[in-house]
Structure 1
């Protein structure tokens, strides 16, 4: 990847983002996120040689929300292997990310680990033999190791905000429990899940977190290559909820979004990319973050579906 070209493209993306009139809508159903300035924008890219390139508000902390599902899935696959898939599917969803209807239709087996029901089951699996504080410490330790940064933390105010207002997640947890696919009390599992989603980090930290999925983490593989492959495949097919097909068509890079406005995208062997813009589209994905990744993909020929002549 030519670094002069990369720098120029990043500057172009930043300028366009600052001029954009439609910035989407922040996740105002979570009170703490409703206060975030929709004018914020950041993008950061890590390369295999250890270099990192950033633009915008790349050192401003934000709530990663559902991007955290990547890390809990990585831990769960490392612990259970293919047995994990007895409780969660691997299929894309055409329903909204917190759909109760889909969970009922599937008799309590979530379609994939990135919709809310699937992520709740993933968190529940990590609680086996542990207390919530121990599980949260394990998750935070994994994230800090992935980012090579001990300063990353969980924001308790965001966690409490979600606990008070996350009524749909409570209904999902109780339905999972009714279907015998939640092995702990709803209070324990959801309390852990809400804190997991409340991890706060900067765009630069998030980009560094993705290096283990891109195959060039400085301390080596945090999980097996087979599990990296599985997670990357699910990022491509399920990482943007019911907008995943459109994202694959427009951007063509395995990615995972969060309603805090963050997106983590990985190109195996080439780059780990994070973008943050708090305003969301109708699917709950960062509006300008998607536009920025589309611009980057088209300008540098990064789509995994591109032919050699497209690059």
Structure 2
């Protein structure tokens, strides 16, 4: 990978952090998952890793949080490794244009989710992982631990169980897809994996490292292992660009200009292919379900560093 050596990322992160700490945060912490409502709403962490594996960090970047839907990129990657292009027969690659848990759209499209990042799409991906692996939870953790360089990285059982107790809509999505023949395994087993997937805990530092393979043409820079082909890495980045922010993907492309994925735990990962991976965490969400401050942090970083992909 190449990198703009003259960019002082540490100085940029410090400037952005100072600017954000003085900004009024009008977001709200996610409460529909009870465990997430307990998080300190004023946390802010940023961590960036460049193409030379240099680390830059400010704020609460070493504090763990629930990455939620950001983990859907990782389950998608593992499913692609197992199934290749045949995966796209069961899930699409288009922006949804509807709520991330829409039943109406799913029925209209006969049980084939619009993309792998809306809830229905991620549930199908979990179904694939259950079909492919005898112990999908263990396989998923093994995969993510290798990417992160942290052998202790794990799920948060309290968050997972909290999600399972309130997953009525996800149950409805799974049953509807089962009716259309797009879920092969037991629904309760599939939803259990889905809830545990979303409960994965990481720090900003761990998350930035985990996603470096998407900044390095599909190669894990810690080990040199080819995680996915360069074509598959390109496609995953493209889906993140188009579908990574619920109903705000266009706004993120417009203001930030990077592939990325958000989660309702307040985290965001963004990738500048061949340059860097950057993770930000601020728990309060805007009306679209994305981190209010996190969106502004990434806009400021790409503006100051002039490092958008556009």
Same fold (TM over 0.5): yes
Report the secondary structure of 2:63's partner residue: coil
1:59 maps to: 62
Aligned with 1:86 (options 64, 86, 89): 89
**1:144-183 to 2 correspondences below 5 Å:** 144-183=145-184
2:44 maps to: 41
Aligned with 1:279 (options 263, 284, 289): 284
CA distance in 2, matches of 1:56, 1:116: 31
CA distance in 1, matches of 2:7, 2:259: 24
The structural deviation recorded for 1:130 is: 3.7
1:213 maps to: 214
2:71 maps to: 68
CA distance in 2, matches of 1:182, 1:25: 34
CA distance in 2, matches of 1:95, 1:192: 24
Distance 1:10 1:178, change over 3 A: same
The structural deviation recorded for 1:20 is: 2.0
Q: Please state if 1:249 is matched with 2:254.
A: yes
1:309 maps to: none
CA distance in 1, matches of 2:133, 2:16: 44
The structural deviation recorded for 1:5 is: 2.9
Report the secondary structure of 1:243's partner residue: helix
The structural deviation recorded for 1:199 is: 0.4
Report the secondary structure of 1:127's partner residue: helix
Structure 1 runs of 4+ aligned residues shifted over 6 Å read none
CA distance in 2, matches of 1:244, 1:21: 23
In structure 2, the gaps of 5 or more residues are none
Aligned with 1:109 (options 108, 112, 131): 112
The total of aligned residue pairs comes to 303
In structure 1, the gaps of 5 or more residues are 306-311
RMSD value, Cα: 1.2
Any conservation in 2 of the 1:23–1:39 contact (CA below 8 Å)? Answer: no
2:19 maps to: 16
Report the secondary structure of 2:261's partner residue: strand
The structural deviation recorded for 1:254 is: 0.4
1:240 maps to: 245
- What's the CA shift string for 1:238-291, capped at 9, x where partnerless? 111111011101100000111111111111110011011111111111111110
The structural deviation recorded for 1:23 is: 4.2
Any conservation in 2 of the 1:44–1:52 contact (CA below 8 Å)? Answer: yes
Report the secondary structure of 2:57's partner residue: strand
The structural deviation recorded for 1:179 is: 1.0
The structural deviation recorded for 1:78 is: 0.9
- TM norm structure 1: 0.95
Distance 1:247 1:4, change over 3 A: closer
- TM norm structure 2: 0.95
Report the secondary structure of 2:270's partner residue: strand
Any conservation in 2 of the 1:43–1:275 contact (CA below 8 Å)? Answer: yes
CA distance in 1, matches of 2:93, 2:132: 26
2:32 maps to: 29
Any conservation in 2 of the 1:67–1:256 contact (CA below 8 Å)? Answer: yes
CA distance in 2, matches of 1:300, 1:96: 33
